[in-house]
Amino acid sequence: MENEFVKLQQKVRDAIQQYYELREELNIKSPGQSRSIEVLARPFLHGHFTLAIIGKMSSGKSTFVNALLEKNDLLATGFGQTTCTLTEIIHSEEERYEVLFADDTIKLFTSIQELQKHMAIPEQYSDLPIKQINDLIVQGKKASDIWEFHDALKEKNGKPIDKDLLNKYCNHHSASNISQKVRVYTQLPQNYQGWKIVDTPGIAAKGGMEDETYKLLNSKDESGRNNTVDAIIFVNSAATQIEDSTFHRFVKETIESLNDSVRERLFLVRTHGADRAYRNNKSQQDSEAQKLFVEGLRINKERIHVVDSLCDIFIRYAEEHKLDLKEISRKAPADWDDKLWQSARDICRDAADEVDGKGREVNFESINNEICSWANFDSLTESLNKFVKKEKEQSFKKIQKLIKQDLTAVRKRLKKNIKTLSKNKGDLAGLQKELDDVKAEGEKLKNEMNNRLSSIRKDFNRDSVNKFFQPISDKVYNLSGDLQKMSSDMRKYITEVEEQKKSLLDNLADLLSSTLQALLENSNIAMPIIDFQAIADTATQEATHEEIVGYEKKVVKASGFWGRFKRFITLGGLGYEEIDDKNKPLKRLSVNPREAIDNFRNQVQIEFEKGLKAFKEQLGRDIDVIGRLTQEELDSEVKINIQITEELTKKCQNEEERQKELHKLNLQFDKIREIINSIK
């Protein structure tokens, strides 16, 4: 199977190389759309196709990653929580490992076994919600402080918190030995070279994704235009009865917390496909999965796969060690866990029974084929590869389009210059008239564009912006449910607002681009396309300023109901305020759930309106900066046109120079056509 991302990487490299070599050869001074081209090409030239793995604690997520990457001992696996931090896995010919700790120190490792100590949760602490506890420790909380949140931690964890175990954990952990991120550089299968696999901390039993994982799935790169994560796999176990109400609730809370832009990149993988209970009721289970995932949660049916990680790992091991699948030893090999080995033996027996039940001969090949069909990783890899091709081809086509538009604009200018050289042979009066026309057309173009900008500024007034955000505002003002649901919904709505802000600026850039194109069609000026998307990005950066919002004071716990309530729902992340250092006692108040919900709803609505108001004010400043930058770029392009016309005027006065320049321009004209045709 061909790796579509690596294939497209090479296409982008070739196209970008041709584009910049030609710009240098022709001494093209206008930036054109080179800035947007660079942004779109960045993930291909300097990045990866990033696949994030999410799933419930103890769902078999780490074993799944090992099977996917054909690395049996890459991530620590076991019967409990095994991933407590973000783990990035990247292809490299030379193996190396690094850990970023909470105190910002980085430590390098040469042994995967040593590394796994920082990736996995020690078994003795498997009943603690380690991720949440680590976050509180990093904030500077002691065990006694953290114990104040034990009710909230219990709610999040789905089980009671052992105080002695919590104290023991806190006594042995600090920011200097709590890992924040792990990077693994290792050789990956050909299908996943050029990819970055990100294993995320398991989602707690109660459901609801950690902020760190949620931000990762919704984040953009430094340009603000490319997704940091290209695709997401949500892992859950087929061994869990899909009709189970707890499972239903967990899945719904997790997937419904994702906004549409994330769901469009979502794959759902059900592990433990060889589980006897699942296989015995496969038809019913698949039908229930259709109702829950496809009809209920709107997941693309083609992106739902049932696999078995242990089947895949075992069958590769059996082939490598030439094992007789009909006679698997009871004793586990030295590099296998006893429980996993016994599970693998059970799979072999089940596969043999399945083959026999179908009336086929039981031998190595038939057992192997049955186990491979349960593993089903080839089907998943093929599906992922198709997704890569579809998504990244769209990006490549955008790059192609921008390059061809730029080169076509340059070719149009060359054509005009060739015409000037061809028809003028020392006619000074005619040449001077052409130069005067270029100057006059340039001024006319700038004035018309300035008038259009004034009109566009009116179109993007406060009322039109309000209408643009009205659907999200309606959702915010209709918040309902318990605190966790409203908190999850608000997190999603805030992400939607950020996407709408970006969409609004994109619409503005598109409108400016089409406006200029319409003006140029009725003008004799030949000039490159102005990169309004880059101008919009620059405008936002220029209009963003640091401002003093307060002064450092003593940080204490916020008193009163609202401070206690915020500490409760965020596990200490909020609910701290800066006040004057006075001797003021803190009072513990009882929480009225109904009042808490009303307070939460009112507070987030106020904060939402504040944020929206600030954006509207910011948008006005953005448009002002866009207008200034557009005029500056138009001025520059008009000056370049005048300069080129003046140079041609001089060359037309010398026949030898005129012929020489004409020959050069014709060669350049033909070369651009060849390059445009070659970028496919």
Report how far residue 539's alpha carbon sits from residue 1's, in angstroms, rounded to the nearest whole number.
44
Report how far residue 567's alpha carbon sits from residue 550's, in angstroms, rounded to the nearest whole number.
22
Beta pairing, strands 179-186 & 86-91: parallel
CA dihedral 416, 421, 426, 430 (to 10 degrees): -10
Compute the half-sphere exposure of residue 39: CA atoms within 13 Å on the CB side of its CA: 20
Report how far residue 233's alpha carbon sits from residue 67's, in angstroms, rounded to the nearest whole number.
14
User: For position 123, what pLDDT does the model report?
Assistant: 77
The angle at the Cα of 527, spanning 666 to 444, to the nearest 5 degrees, equals: 135
Residue position matching structure tokens 């259009």: 452
The angle at the Cα of 415, spanning 435 to 33, to the nearest 5 degrees, equals: 95
User: For position 550, what pLDDT does the model report?
Assistant: 37
Query: 4-25 and 655-678 helices cross at what angle (nearest 10)?
Result: 170
Give the rounded distance of the alpha carbon of 101 from its chain centre: 23
Report how far residue 82's alpha carbon sits from residue 309's, in angstroms, rounded to the nearest whole number.
16
pTM: 0.81
Which secondary structure element, helix H or strand E, spans residue 181, and what is its range? strand 179-186
* Contact status, residue 303 vs residue 266, Cβ threshold 8 Å: yes
CA dihedral 601, 604, 606, 609 (to 10 degrees): -120
Three-class SS state of 52:
strand
Q: Which amino acid is at 545?
A: H
Beta pairing, strands 231-237 & 195-199: unpaired
* Contact status, residue 52 vs residue 231, Cβ threshold 8 Å: yes
User: For position 558, what pLDDT does the model report?
Assistant: 43
Residues of the chain with confidence (pLDDT) below 50: 79-81, 207, 545-591
User: For position 51, what pLDDT does the model report?
Assistant: 97
* Contact status, residue 184 vs residue 89, Cβ threshold 8 Å: yes
